């Protein structure tokens, strides 16, 4: 018996392989500070946990959940979206409830792409994007991102013959891994481009609520008419420190939302209702809670920025997200530099090439460790 050709063609998921290496080093007695994975370390708000535990005791919430998610969660998310972005969503038609945004990103190509369809995809990018397209039988056309271009793709450089076969355009701002933000003018161009070439624009906005220095990242759905061609992914993991809960949303184009919900009804049985009730409570948290949480991340950001710059690396100051994207000194590959850093300092970071070839020369450093560990990592880098 053999595994499928599609599965055998996929590389190992780099976070899983790196986690095994870190575990081996820790087992040997090394004190590893892991800044390689964007796993929020701050606790879920207690009122959200109270909503989860109290609702879990109700027998009605212990049965199979609704495939399409609870109506109350959809309505609460629509109300939050209107407050946050000024965009009205139809809770019934323009929303798909997800078992975490990663799950939705992984399944969406199966709902909207056929064998041989082309996905226009940034490089570097979150590795789930190309994997999902490959498992759906599609192919990827890479849109290189570069520092000089503000980490924005040159959409008009895509060849005409590729555009004729293209079905989807993938974007992600605030960006993982680069930390870049996209101006509204770029979103307007991207929506017009998708409309012109009959593309589904897929925007991953998982990091919108981790924001600094007064920034408030904009939704691509704020562009007039964007819902005709676009969907957008949101995550409770980063927004409300609920990574283990696995709860997310895809919103926007009604036909696409209906299609993903239909696909998921054939693959899973929805989300544990107490988790959805916890999500409703999270959406009601005041802006002050978000600001206080983000002040912690901003403090960590500033400590690591100073340490990386003192170590001789050029790094931009991100306005949102959980990542720094420093340029390493010339003369080594990103993979070799990350391994040497791990060996010499016991600080684990991710080489930029784990996100695509255009990540060569960069590292991704996360802010998801306690303040004391961030400070210790900074001191090790300086030494």
Domains defined along the chain, listed by start: 5-44+288-382 (3.90.1150.10), 46-283 (3.40.640.10)
At 376, give phi and psi (nearest 5°): -65, -40
What is the pLDDT at residue 10? 80
Residue by residue, pLDDT tens for the chain (383 residues) are 899 888 888 877 666 666 777 888 889 999 999 999 899 999 999 999 999 999 999 999 999 999 999 999 999 999 999 999 999 999 999 999 999 999 999 999 999 999 999 999 999 999 999 999 999 999 999 999 999 999 999 999 999 999 999 999 999 999 999 999 999 999 999 999 999 999 999 999 999 999 999 999 999 999 999 999 999 999 999 999 999 999 999 999 999 999 999 999 999 989 999 999 999 999 999 999 999 999 999 999 999 999 999 999 999 999 999 999 999 989 999 999 998 999 999 999 999 999 999 999 999 999 999 999 999 999 999 88
Beta-strand pair 166-172/118-123: parallel
Cα-Cα-Cα-Cα dihedral sign, residues 137, 172, 80, 239: positive
- CA quadruple 91, 92, 94, 100: dihedral, nearest 10: 80
What is the pLDDT at residue 8? 85
Structure tokens that stand for 59 in this block: 């027998």
What is the pLDDT at residue 199? 98
- What does the alpha-carbon distance between residue 70 and residue 273 come to, in Å, rounded to a whole number? 7
**8 Å CB contact between 216 and 328:** no
**8 Å CB contact between 36 and 349:** yes
Q: Please state whether the predicted TM-score (pTM) of the whole model is above 0.75.
A: yes
């Amino acid at each position: 018996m053999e595994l499928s050709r599609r599965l055998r063609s996929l590389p190992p998921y780099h976070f899983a392989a790196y986690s095994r290496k870190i575990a081996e080093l820790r087992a040997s007695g090394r004190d590893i500070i892991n800044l390689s994975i964007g796993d929020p370390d701050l606790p879920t708000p207690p009122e959200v946990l109270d909503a989860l535990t109290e609702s879990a005791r109700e027998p009605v919430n212990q049965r199979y959940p609704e495939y399409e998610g609870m109506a109350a969660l959809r309505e609460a998310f629509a109300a939050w979206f209107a407050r946050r972005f000024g965009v009205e969503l139809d809770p019934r038609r323009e929303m798909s409830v997800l078992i975490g945004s990663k799950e939705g990103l992984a399944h969406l190509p199966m709902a909207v792409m056929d064998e041989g369809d082309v996905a226009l995809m940034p490089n570097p990018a979150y590795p789930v994007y190309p994997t999902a397209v490959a498992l759906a039988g599609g192919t990827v056309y890479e849109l290189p991102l570069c520092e000089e271009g503000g980490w924005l793709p040159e959409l008009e450089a895509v060849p005409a013959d590729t555009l004729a076969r293209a079905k989807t355009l993938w974007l992600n701002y605030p960006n993982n891994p680069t930390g870049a933000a996209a101006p509204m003018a770029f979103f307007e161009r991207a929506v017009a481009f998708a409309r012109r070439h009959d593309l589904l624009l897929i925007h991953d906005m998982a990091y919108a609520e981790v924001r600094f220095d007064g920034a408030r990242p904009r939704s691509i759905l704020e562009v007039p008419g964007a819902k005709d061609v676009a969907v957008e992914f949101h995550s409770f993991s980063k927004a409300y420190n609920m990574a283990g809960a696995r709860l997310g949303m895809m919103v926007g184009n009604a036909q696409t939302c209906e299609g993903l919900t239909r696909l998921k009804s054939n693959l899973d049985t929805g989300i544990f209702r107490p988790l959805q009730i916890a999500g409703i409570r999270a959406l009601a948290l005041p802006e002050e809670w978000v600001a206080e949480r983000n002040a912690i991340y901003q403090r960590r950001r500033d400590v690591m920025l100073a340490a990386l710059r003192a170590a001789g690396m050029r790094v931009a100051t991100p306005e949102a997200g959980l990542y720094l994207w420093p340029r390493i000194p010339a003369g080594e590959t990103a993979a070799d530099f990350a391994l040497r850093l791990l060996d010499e300092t016991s600080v684990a970071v991710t080489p930029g090439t784990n996100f695509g070839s255009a990540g060569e020369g960069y590292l991704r450093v996360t802010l998801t460790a306690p303040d004391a560990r961030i400070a210790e990592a900074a001191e090790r880098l300086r030494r």
